[in-house]
Amino acid sequence: MEKPIGVTILTFVAVVLAFLNAIVMLRFLGFFPFLGVIEGRVFSLWYALLYGLLAYIWVWLAQMLWQVDKQAWMFLAVITIFNLCIDFVLLVTGGSWYDVNLSVLANTLILIYIMLPGVREAFRMA
């Protein structure tokens, strides 16, 4: 069976989000002090663990999407909403929009895209 182009695009976006979450994880461990609004080192083990877990989950999800697994669609929807919730918590607890803007935009676009009927059908027929 041939892989739909939309699934390939979703896989690529999942890899990009894994990379972004890994960068944010390293930032919260204090490795990238030049990223973000606050100059200097920012250390938060809790946020680093959450973003590290999200990076791992995005890599795992990219593998599921590449294989066009039937359960990947539902898992993608759940993880996208979870990632948006984590970004919202970061904003509420004193983070800045600069910290989460790419993640929020990418997750919102993914959520809108996977709700389209053609994408749902591609995963049902897999």
Q: What are the pLDDT tens digits along the chain (126 aa)? A: 577 788 888 899 889 889 988 998 998 888 877 766 556 667 889 989 988 998 999 999 999 999 888 898 899 999 889 889 988 888 888 777 877 788 889 889 989 998 988 888 888 865
What pLDDT score does 40 carry?
60
What is the rounded distance in angstroms from the CA atom of residue 60 to the CA atom of residue 81? 16
**Distance of alpha carbon 37 from alpha carbon 74, whole angstroms:** 35
Classify the phi-psi angles of 68: left when phi > 0, otherwise alpha if psi is within -120 to 50, otherwise beta. Answer: left
Q: Give the DSSP letter of residue 20.
A: H
d(CA 33, CA 56): 23
Q: What single-letter DSSP state applies at residue 68?
A: T
Distance from the Cα of residue 12 to its chain's centroid: 11
Is the CB of residue 124 less than 8 Å from the CB of residue 70? yes
Looking at residue 35, its pLDDT comes to: 66
SS3 content of the chain, % helix, strand, coil (to 5): 75, 0, 25
Single-letter amino acid code for the residue at 51: Y
